[in-house]
Amino acid sequence: MILDNRADAAARLILALDLPTRARALEFIHETEGLVGSYKIGSQLFTAEGPTLVRDIVARGQSVFLDLKFHDIPNTVAGAAVEAARLGVRMLTIHALGGETMMRRAVEAVHDLCDGEGLTPPRLIAVTLLTSLGREDLKKIHLSGTPEEIVADLAELAYSCGMDGVVASAHECPAIRARVTDPRFVLIVPGIRPADSSPHDQQRIVTPGHALRLGADYLVVGRPILESPTPRQAAERILAEIAAYCDRHLDTAESDLQGN
């Protein structure tokens, strides 16, 4: 049971490979073997190393989350999402602020491709608001309303377009769950910091356990592991916190079943 829980916990941990080179990315993949469910490739690593690295990591049997946050006219985003699906990534991101038509076209194009070619479709994940944006930043870009309201509206829009989940801050998870009740709609939460680590440029951070309690399905962690002098131990500590949550959750589910 404990071993299963650890595998379940690892599946929830996404390591953000915000790194400049293939060599460093492969080093971290090796270093965190068995502790991480997916590796997130964002704009830095993708710009440096391109789709070859994505294909190579997929070919090693690892799950890749391609976080290029597509945001363009519908035709361009649909084309980009199709190419990402061909790479074999398990998840990819599209900005919800790109609007309804853009998200719908991407969903249709990816499903048409995967149905036609017998591929497993990647999960299409909407980016709501970047967790680095505070209230003042939102005002400067003319976004009125609280982050919770904006995020819940964008999440609902993404769901209605057929998207599979959203990236959001942990604090927004309860508002999203209240608005989109389908449990298959996944919540991916960055801005995770173990209790004693630096917030860096993130404005809305939480600990791993807190994020899960607020409703996160997956946790994205970058610098707390990448900048640690002992990355494997840092990943182990985060995993232990996730596993402790899964244990408690399982205990509660079991006692509910037994009518306790």
- Residues serving a catalytic function are 69
Query: What would the x/- binding string for ligand C5P be over residues 89 to 128, using CB under 6 A?
Result: --------------------------------------x-
Q: Can residue 143 be called a binding residue for ligand C5P (CB under 6 A)?
A: no
Does residue 134 touch ligand C5P according to CB under 6 A?
Answer: no
Q: Give me the long-range contacts of 193-200 (CB less than 8 A, separation at least 24).
A: 193/224, 194/224, 194/234, 194/237, 194/238, 194/241, 197/224, 198/223
How far apart CA 211 and CA 189 sit, in angstroms, is: 7
> Alpha-carbon distance 232 to 185, whole Å?
30
Q: Does residue 16 belong to the site contacting ligand C5P (CB under 6 A)?
A: yes
Question: Under the criterion CB under 6 A, does residue 68 sit at the interface with ligand C5P?
Answer: no
Q: Does the footprint of ligand C5P cover residue 220 (CB under 6 A)?
A: yes
Q: Does 32 help bind ligand C5P (rule: CB under 6 A)? A: no
d(CA 235, CA 116): 39
Closest approach of Cβ 98 to ligand C5P, in Å?
15
- Residue 67: phi and psi, rounded to 5, are -105, 75
Q: Quick check: 158 and 96 in contact, CB under 8 A?
A: yes
Token pair of 211 as six digits: 């994020």
Per CB under 6 A, 18 contacts ligand C5P? yes
Looking at beta carbons only, is 10 or 192 nearer to ligand C5P?
Answer: 192
Q: Is residue 130 near ligand C5P by the rule CB under 6 A? A: yes
**Beta strand extents in 97-182 (DSSP E only):** 123-127, 165-167
Q: φ, ψ for residue 31 (rounded to 5)?
A: -60, -35
Q: Is 221 in the site for ligand C5P (CB under 6 A)?
A: yes
**Residue 91 DSSP SS3:** strand
Nearer to ligand C5P, 135 or 248 (CB): 135
Which parts of this chain interact with ligand C5P (CB under 6 A)?
Answer: 16, 18, 40, 42, 127, 130-131, 167, 190-191, 200, 202, 220-224
